[in-house]
């Protein structure tokens, strides 16, 4: 599995190492990039890891450069994994104007496996992450595959919530920052889901965090889910709908800490402000 792994760059960082990689993905059918931060504790053996899923317009570099996460991860002994958000390159740039509309839904991966044409061949982000990237990371790096958490921002927050609920037992901790909580009920999700999954809206619910939470028979994360949301976020009212996820968690008996923050917007200054809290949330769950 590691035969095609390429190291694009490597940087010392807070006693650990920040790496950027590319590999030939079987699931996507194209080269895919991701980044890994290994804390200094990884020199002594496998460490727990948290996978971060970024939002629209982002890639595998955005989180590692902008979030200010490595210092805290080094203190906690957490590895960080940040995949790219979408298939890229000449093979997909001409598909229904994917590049031109990357920041509006279609073209961005939304962390699902597309079933509708022309997206179905390469837009297999869920299978890439779950069945390929996580096993590759555990094989290639000193990462404990039994101690993995997941979080994300915006579209990536949607991905973190849905993947955690769709794959019970895969992730031991879960959080999100300004996630798209109910994509079947917002314009971004409507555009992406109709493109990737077709017009049958019932199929969309399998990738909607609120619907998935409402279907739970027991609380999937009894130690709690952490969500932070800025109240000055221009996408809050139309696209994000955290109150719907809050209601779904209440209905399922799922402990949720939903924190609303005056003055904070949707960007990485907001993310930086609460990054330490999110990594501490994961570190506590993954130390056991």
> Once rounded to an integer, what is the mean pLDDT over residues 172-198?
96
* pLDDT at residue 2, rounded to an integer: 79
Alpha-carbon distance 267 to 277, whole Å? 17
* pLDDT at residue 170, rounded to an integer: 98
pTM assigned to the model: 0.96
* pLDDT at residue 106, rounded to an integer: 59
**Candidates 158, 173, 233, 264; catalytic one:** 233
Would residue 20 be called left, alpha or beta, if left means φ above 0 and alpha means ψ between -120 and 50 degrees?
Answer: beta
Q: Is 233 a catalytic residue?
A: yes
Q: Reply yes or no on whether the pLDDT at 287 is more than 50.
A: yes
* pLDDT at residue 195, rounded to an integer: 93
* pLDDT at residue 100, rounded to an integer: 40
- The pLDDT tens digits for 243-277 are 999 999 999 999 999 999 999 999 999 999 999 99
Q: Are 176 and 151 in contact (CB under 8 A)?
A: yes
The full 3-state SS of the chain, as one line of letters, equals CCCCCEEEEEEEECCEEEEEEEEECCCCCCEEEEEEEECHHHHHCCEEEEEEECCCCCCCCHHHHHCCCHHHHHHHCCEEEEECCCCCCHHHHCHHHCCCCHHHCCCCCCCCECCCCCCCCCCEHHHHHHHHHHHHHHHHCCEEEEEEEEEEECHHHHHHHHHHHHCCCCCCEEEEECCCCCHHHCHHHHHHHHHHHCCCHHHHHHHCHHHHHHCCCCCCCCCCEEEEEECCCCCHHHHHCHHHHHHHHHHHCCCEEEEEECCCCCCHHHHHHHHHHHHHHHHHHHHC
Q: How confident is the model at residue 102 (pLDDT cuts 50, 70, 90)?
A: very low
Q: How far is the CA of 126 from the CAs of 119, 123, 251, in angstroms? A: 13, 9, 27
Quick one: which of 119, 111, 188, 113 has its CA closest to 152? 111
Q: Are 285 and 225 in contact (CB under 8 A)?
A: no
> Once rounded to an integer, what is the mean pLDDT over residues 135-151?
98
Place of tokens 């496998």: 46
**Candidates 35, 154, 173, 175; catalytic one:** 154
Alpha-carbon distance 210 to 243, whole Å? 10
* pLDDT at residue 108, rounded to an integer: 87
* pLDDT at residue 90, rounded to an integer: 84
Q: Is 154 a catalytic residue?
A: yes
* pLDDT at residue 92, rounded to an integer: 86
**Candidates 23, 122, 153, 266; catalytic one:** 266
* pLDDT at residue 97, rounded to an integer: 54
> Once rounded to an integer, what is the mean pLDDT over residues 34-52?
98
Q: pLDDT exceeding 90 applies to what percent of the chain?
A: 91
Q: Is 131 a catalytic residue?
A: no
In whole angstroms, how large is the CA radius of gyration of the chain? 18
Report the chain's mean pLDDT, rounded to a whole number.
95
């Amino acid at each position: 599995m590691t035969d095609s792994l390429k190291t694009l760059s490597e940087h010392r960082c807070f006693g650990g190492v920040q790496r950027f990689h590319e590999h030939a993905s079987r699931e996507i059918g194209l080269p895919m990039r991701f980044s890994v931060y290994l804390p200094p504790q990884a020199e002594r053996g496998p460490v727990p890891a948290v996978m971060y899923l970024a939002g629209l317009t982002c890639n595998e570099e955005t989180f590692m450069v902008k979030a200010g996460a490595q210092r805290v991860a080094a203190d906690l002994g957490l590895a960080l994994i940040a995949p790219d958000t979408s298939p890229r390159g000449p093979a997909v740039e001409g598909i229904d104007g994917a590049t031109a509309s990357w920041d509006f839904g279609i073209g961005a991966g939304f962390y699902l496996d597309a079933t509708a044409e022309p997206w179905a061949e390469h837009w297999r982000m869920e299978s890439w992450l779950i069945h390929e990237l996580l096993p590759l990371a555990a094989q290639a790096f000193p990462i404990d595959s039994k101690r993995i958490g997941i979080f994300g921002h915006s579209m990536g927050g949607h991905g973190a919530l849905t993947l955690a609920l769709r794959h019970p037992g895969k992730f031991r901790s879960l959080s999100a920052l300004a996630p798209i909580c109910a994509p079947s009920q917002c314009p971004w999700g409507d555009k992406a889901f109709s493109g990737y999954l077709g017009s049958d809206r019932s199929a969309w619910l399998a990738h909607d965090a609120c619907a998935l939470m409402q279907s739970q028979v027991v609380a999937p994360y009894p130690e709690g889910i952490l969500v932070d949301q800025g109240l000055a976020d221009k996408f809050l009212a139309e696209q994000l709908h955290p109150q719907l996820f809050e209601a779904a968690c209440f209905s399922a008996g799922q402990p949720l800490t939903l924190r609303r923050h005056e003055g904070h917007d949707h960007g990485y200054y907001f993310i930086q402000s609460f990054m330490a809290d999110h990594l501490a949330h994961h570190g506590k769950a993954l130390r056991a």
